[in-house]
Amino acid sequence: MSTENRNGSGHSADVQMRLSVNGHTLSIGHLGPDYVVVDAPIDHPPSDAEISLSVDGNESRWRVRLIDGLSASQARSRISISG
């Protein structure tokens, strides 16, 4: 069975997600409405951060709050949108 799109478009978007906090840029593996999962977690206290999402070169950025900070022993961290 072919996995190619039947209408021939076969487009797969180039998606990149990053978390920037205090000079660190971390790759995001998964992003939810109130959490982020980083690929290589570090220890960092609660603080403001920025998420950048690029889809096929079109980038969006928004400010978030790392509610509990980041932990090198846990990839998933709670976030809230900063106003």
Nearest to 50 by CA among 67, 25, 78, 73: 25
The arithmetic mean of pLDDT across residues 60-79, rounded, is 97
pLDDT tens digits for range 22-65 = 999 999 999 999 999 999 999 999 999 999 999 999 999 999 99
CB 19 within 8 A of CB 41: no
* The pLDDT of residue 1 is above 50: no
* The pLDDT of residue 21 is above 80: yes
Burial 50-61 (b: 16+ CB within 10 A, else e): ebeeeeeeeeee
Q: Note the pTM of the prediction, 2 decimals.
A: 0.83
**φ, ψ for residue 81, nearest 5 deg:** -70, 130
**φ, ψ for residue 45, nearest 5 deg:** -70, 165
* The pLDDT of residue 2 is above 50: no
* The pLDDT of residue 8 is above 70: no
